[in-house]
């Protein structure tokens, strides 16, 4: 890549690992660098009604905003309580995982913050990390200890709870544990029909992406299984397209691994988008949800692709 943005078509940074990826690639689209200057980019979320993207710069304690029309980047919220994962609920409001305060919050239309969850059975969460909102309005989030392990992404504090995945009920606001047997749960996403929940296991060696079947009640999980063995890679956050493919933040400091790796629903690697730095998380946006935004270590990148992200994902 030249100046962190490719000038060539087809872009050599977009690698076909399996012929099935060819249909998802646009020959006349290349990786674009939209911003440089973060310390650790995470949690991108698209706001189509405003034509802007928000993402977290965790160590700099801020949420940044990129405007599609002008390309300008500004501070959306600073301080952000070391915000990490972001998404939107089914009413379009921003929902955020905060490391410093060890809680999940919602930004109301007037800009005020509502605490969705900060404790389970009276004990503080570790550091809510990544988050999704299901079509029924329930909120699912992971709670590893990354934000309390030191003073870089939060503040060093003792853990009061095991690292679990939680669900917040949309009617009662009750918080329940849905997964307690994944080591260091990190990124998570539902399949297009919400019949499967995928979760990154970031403290296993090697890292894995696990899959769980979602019960007919929409809340119970079963059949814990490994769908992707990451090998030397480091999956972090990811999103799913309308065909069920997983677009995963990837890397470990090498040209071969850094970027985004794409897998089929069965866990077969079919494509790779090379970036000059490790990618932490992604989201789909743009008018047709066909632009992949990639929050990488120090920057923000984008690529138009020949598919669409799942609605609400």
At 160-219, the pLDDT tens digits run 999 999 999 999 999 999 999 999 999 999 999 999 999 999 999 999 999 999 999 999
* Res. 24 pLDDT band, cuts 50 70 90: very high
Q: Report whether 248 contacts 232 (CB < 8 A).
A: no
For residue 290, pLDDT beyond 70: yes
Residue 254: predicted pLDDT: 82
Residue 50 lies in a domain: yes
Q: What is the DSSP letter of 245?
A: -
CA distance to 99, 138, 193, 286, 304, per residue, from 173 (Å): 21, 9, 24, 32, 37
Segment 260-287 shows an average pLDDT of 97
**Low-confidence winner among 93-107, 115-129, 245-259 (lowest mean pLDDT):** 245-259
Residue 310 lies in a domain: no
Cβ atoms within 10 Å of 287's Cβ, excluding its own: 9
Model confidence over 49-106: pLDDT tens digits? 999 999 999 999 999 999 999 999 999 999 999 999 999 999 999 999 999 999 999 9
Distance separating alpha carbons of residues 197 and 194, to the nearest angstrom: 7
Segment 236-243 shows an average pLDDT of 98
* Res. 1 pLDDT band, cuts 50 70 90: very low
Number of independent structural domains in the chain? 1
Residue 3: predicted pLDDT: 62
Q: What is the DSSP letter of 303?
A: E
CATH number of the domain within which 128 lies: 2.120.10.30
Residue 7: predicted pLDDT: 79
**Low-confidence winner among 2-11, 78-87, 124-133, 241-250 (lowest mean pLDDT):** 2-11
* Res. 274 pLDDT band, cuts 50 70 90: very high
Residue 7 lies in a domain: no
Segment 12-37 shows an average pLDDT of 97
Segment 22-27 shows an average pLDDT of 97
CB half-sphere exposure, 133, CA atoms < 13 A: 23
Going by their DSSP bridges, the two strands 94-98 and 103-107 should be labelled as antiparallel
Residue that is written with structure tokens 């120090």 in the block: 298
Residue 2: predicted pLDDT: 41
Residue 161 lies in a domain: yes
Q: Report whether 164 contacts 184 (CB < 8 A).
A: no
Which residues 6+ apart lie within 8 Å of 216 measured at CB? Answer: none
Nearest CA among 199, 94, 89 for reference residue 142: 199
For residue 128, pLDDT beyond 80: yes
For residue 31, pLDDT beyond 70: yes
Tell me the helices (H) and strands (E) count for the chain, helix number first. Answer: 0, 27
Which residues 6+ apart lie within 8 Å of 51 measured at CB? Answer: 67, 68, 69
Residue 286 lies in a domain: yes
For residue 253, pLDDT beyond 90: no
Residue 312 lies in a domain: no
pTM given for the model: 0.97
Distance separating alpha carbons of residues 50 and 35, to the nearest angstrom: 19
Distance separating alpha carbons of residues 92 and 71, to the nearest angstrom: 22
Cβ atoms within 10 Å of 49's Cβ, excluding its own: 8
Supply the range of the domain harboring residue 168: 14-304
The runs of H, that is alpha helices, within 120-260 are: none
Residue 3 lies in a domain: no
In our burial notation (b when 16+ CB lie closer than 10 A, e otherwise), range 245-284 reads bbbbbbbeeeeebbbbbbbbbebebbbbbbbbbbbbbbbb
Residue 313 lies in a domain: no
């Amino acid at each position: 890549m030249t100046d962190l943005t490719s000038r060539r078509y087809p872009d050599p940074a977009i690698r076909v690992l399996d012929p099935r990826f060819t249909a998802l690639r646009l020959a006349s689209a290349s990786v674009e660098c939209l911003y440089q200057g973060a310390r650790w980019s995470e949690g991108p979320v698209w706001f189509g009604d405003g034509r802007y993207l928000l993402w977290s710069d965790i160590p700099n304690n801020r949420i940044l905003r990129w405007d599609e029309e002008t390309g300008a980047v500004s501070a959306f919220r600073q301080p952000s309580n070391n915000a990490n994962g972001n998404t939107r609920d089914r009413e379009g409001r921003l929902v955020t995982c905060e490391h410093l305060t060890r809680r999940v919050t919602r930004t109301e239309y007037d800009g005020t913050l509502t605490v969705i969850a900060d404790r389970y059975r009276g004990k503080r969460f570790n550091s809510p990390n990544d988050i999704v909102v299901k079509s029924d309005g329930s909120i699912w989030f992971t709670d590893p200890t990354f934000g309390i392990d030191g003073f870089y992404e939060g503040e060093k504090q003792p853990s009061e709870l095991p690292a679990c995945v939680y669900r917040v009920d949309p009617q009662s606001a009750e918080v329940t544990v849905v997964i307690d047997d994944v080591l260091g749960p990190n990124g998570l996403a539902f399949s297009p029909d919400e019949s499967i929940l995928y979760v990154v296991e970031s403290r296993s060696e090697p890292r894995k992406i696990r899959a769980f079947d979602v019960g007919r009640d929409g809340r119970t999980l079963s059949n814990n299984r490994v769908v992707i063995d990451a090998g030397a890679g480091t999956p972090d956050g990811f999103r799913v397209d309308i065909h069920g493919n997983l677009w995963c933040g990837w890397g470990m400091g090498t040209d071969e691994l850094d970027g985004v790796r794409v897998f089929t629903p069965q866990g077969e690697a079919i494509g790779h988008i090379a970036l000059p730095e490790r990618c932490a998380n992604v989201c789909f946006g743009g008018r047709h949800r066909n632009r992949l935004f990639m929050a990488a270590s120090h920057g923000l990148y984008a690529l138009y692709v020949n598919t669409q992200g799942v609605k609400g994902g």
